[in-house]
Chain A
Amino acid sequence: MLIIKGADVTEDEWTRLPEGQAPTDDSAEQPLLVGLADWLLHRDVLLARAGRLGVLLCGEDEVERLIPDLDHLQLIAVSFPVFTDGRGYSQARLLRDRFNYAGELRAVGEVLPDQADLMSKVGIDSFSISDSVDSRRFFGLAG
């Protein structure tokens, strides 16, 4: 997977905490991406870590539950399990426009060039795309 943000292409540096697994602090510096349920469960332990923190949202997740924590998050990943599942567009828009989330907002899942503009318009500013996807359309998109 490649991460495109603005003009930059990078490898994904975030580690996904496996679902249902308690966080340990042996890799405290490692940026950690956590599902919403685990975030809510282990919030205090996670906040005590030194590394950066992110939350991965699924379609059925209520973004409102993240409101108190937005300042602590460097990344929110919105998932598109298939590109026709459009719940992530509403989640992204709410996070950006209503709850004023200012950190990185990333599209993950089936992220394809034809939706790049739409995603950018609802505030998504980084894109996780597979190596086979034509990346040109994703460059220079601001959230």
Chain B
Amino acid sequence: MYQYNPVDQQLIDQRVTEFRDQTRRFLGGELTDEQFRPLRLMNGLYLQRHAPMLRVAIPYGLLSSAQLHKLAQISRDYDRGYGHFTTRQNIQFNWPELERVPDLLGELAEVQMHAIQTSGNCIRNVTSDPLAGVAADEIEDPRPWCEIIRQWATLHPEFAYLPRKFKIAVTGASHDRAATQLHDIGLEVVQGESGQSGFRVRVGGGLGRTPVVAEPLREFLDQRDLLSYCEAILRVYNRYGRRDNKYKSRIKILVRTMGIEAFRERVEREWAQIRDGELRLSEARISEMKSHFAAPEYQFFSGEALLEVERRLMADVDFGRWQRQNVLAHRQPGYSIVVVSLKKTGVAPGDLTADQMDAVAELAARYSFGQLRTTHDQNLVLADVPQTGLYALWQALSALGLATPNIGTLTDLICCPGLDFCSLANARSIPLAADIAERFDSLDFLYDLGEIQLKLSGCMNGCGHHTVGHIGILGVDKKGEEWYQITLGGRADNQAALGQRIGPSLPLDRVVDAVDDILQVYLQAREEQERLIDTVARIGVEPFKERVYAHH
């Protein structure tokens, strides 16, 4: 894990001092709302429906136990005893007091954390694969590249006031678990012709009001040119992106307006000017960065020790179920990847209490080298668990309510905070998520359904990523009432696609039935091991639509 050097530390310490001064000036009336707004946003602070919301950066989703303990303490001391993990691998606190936010930021700085650029029209937290460094299908660990990008993007003087927010994601594996095609820049590690690795660069993806799947900008970028090429893209965007209408200011609109060819030409022309300049990455810099993400010191386990795990699996049905659903294959023999489910029925997806945070931090210290990851589908990952520890870990997680064996199933759904918290929302999302989880709580039924990604947003800004859900649900406002639009066939992986609307929106009390209808059509129509998403691709949305709207 990357550790701050004195320069990094000084940077965030200064930012705390600066924000303390800005908050003081705002509270003292020296700064207007209008002037304070971009400053607080640059520090992750929104003024929301009930209270300020502070979004804390978790760079590429990587956390140490010490950091999670700190987040636990902060949620106790500054919030209401819980935090909310977001779809961009960050954590949000929903109830801090504005006056105390500078102190809160000061505490974060003690564990090398901050809220810089988690909001505002700037380069946001870089996101990545939660299985980085441990996945079997990995070409190269994306985290050193994420960190290189993070350092370049943090407080970049030229790009602090972009036309709109800017999100970058990196994947180093053949299976995209970072939704890179739905980012302003999506980077995918690929092998070049002569075997060296580089990046496929995509641009202009994004969700929100105008969802777009990113277009390929460059098929192969030499690793050393990563920053100069990103800088070229950002400079073109900063100069030519629209600023007159915030709904048309994302880079996807610029790409669409110019056309990808013309956009590419501009970027390449700009890049030609800077690619041999100071941003070129040296071999030394790259290998130094890689050393921060070296594999932990794995142990060797005897066959006998591992047999004991097998025996447990045979003997304990519940453990076996959890192991099949929430534990993933690790590339190191004797180790497993454990997904900690934050999707217990009755709990808002992504929420974790302070006590749970402390407990998970301890479990990470005991079983996973003191580190954990947040995922973009709002779970946590303990990435390096020795198989000999699985049973004890499962028992501990079960006691905490964090072992619901539903990873990858319908109830492992993602959802934004919705109308309950967010001032942008049109409709509630958390209660609907709860209704869905309650209706479909039979594990056998969930397992029979197989992999389904249900994603739910309370408004068209799409924080719940509904557009790329296998089943997407979008809350809309209809004459002051909450209605919901359903889409099918969206996906955020390598075959990224936007969901198709199945028909007019539905009132709240019909949504869960509609989901049931969709599932029934799928169960009748599926062939062999076909997943819902594949059935939708094969038969189209029409049969689903017929069933959902049949009785009305």
Q: Which residues of A contact B (CB under 8 A)?
A: 59, 83-87, 89-91, 93, 98, 112, 114-115, 117-119, 121-122, 134
Contact = CB atoms under 8 A, between A and B. Distances in A.
A89 B159 contact: yes
A91 B238 CA distance: 10
A118 B160 contact: yes
Given A89-B238, A98-B273, A84 B38 contact: yes
Given A84-B121, A98-B273, A89 B160 contact: yes
B38 A83 contact: yes
Nearest to A124: B157
B235 interface: yes
Residue among B39, B121, B157, B243 having the largest count of chain A Cβ atoms under 10 Å: B157
Contact of B160 (A86, A87, A98): A86
B311 interface: no
B9 interface: no
B243 A90 contact: no
Given A84-B121, A86-B162, A114 B157 contact: no
Contact of A86 (B22, B35, B39, B161): B161
Contacts of B35: 83, 112
Interface in B428-476: none
Interface in B483-502: none
Contacts of B161: 83-86, 89
A83 B160 CA distance: 11
A93 B121 CA distance: 19
Contacts of B219: none
A122 B158 contact: yes
Contacts of B238: 86-87, 89-90
A120 to B, nearest CB: 8
B239 interface: yes
Contacts of A87: 238-239, 243
A89 B157 contact: yes
Interface in B38-59: 38-39
Contacts of A86: 121, 158-162, 238
Contact of B22 (A93, A114, A117): A114
A63 to B, nearest CB: 9
A112 B121 CA distance: 18
Interface in B132-180: 157-162
A93 B39 CA distance: 22
Contacts of B243: 59, 85, 87
Most buried by B among A90, A91, A93, A119: A90
A28 B123 CA distance: 46
Given A83-B38, A98-B273, A114-B22, A90 B157 contact: no
A121 B39 CA distance: 18
A92 to B, nearest CB: 8
Contacts of A119: 157
Contact of A122 (B22, B38, B157, B162): B157
A90 B239 contact: yes
A114 B235 CA distance: 22
18 contacts: A83-B35, A84-B38, A84-B121, A86-B162, A86-B238, A87-B238, A87-B239, A89-B158, A89-B160, A89-B238, A90-B235, A90-B239, A93-B158, A98-B273, A117-B157, A118-B157, A119-B157, A122-B158
Interface in B225-243: 235, 238-239, 243
A121 B157 contact: yes
A83 B34 CA distance: 11
A134 B30 CA distance: 10
Nearest to A132: B30
A118 B158 CA distance: 7
Contacts of B235: 90
Interface in B272-296: 273
B158 A114 contact: no
Contacts of B158: 86, 89-90, 93, 122
B32 to A, nearest CB: 11
Contacts of A117: 157
B251 to A, nearest CB: 14
Interface string B13-34: 0000010001000000010000
Given A86-B159, A86-B160, A86-B161, 14 more contacts: A59-B243, A83-B35, A84-B38, A84-B121, A85-B161, A86-B162, A87-B238, A87-B239, A90-B238, A93-B158, A112-B35, A114-B39, A115-B160, A118-B157
A122 B243 CA distance: 21
Contacts of A90: 158, 235, 238-239
B437 to A, nearest CB: 41
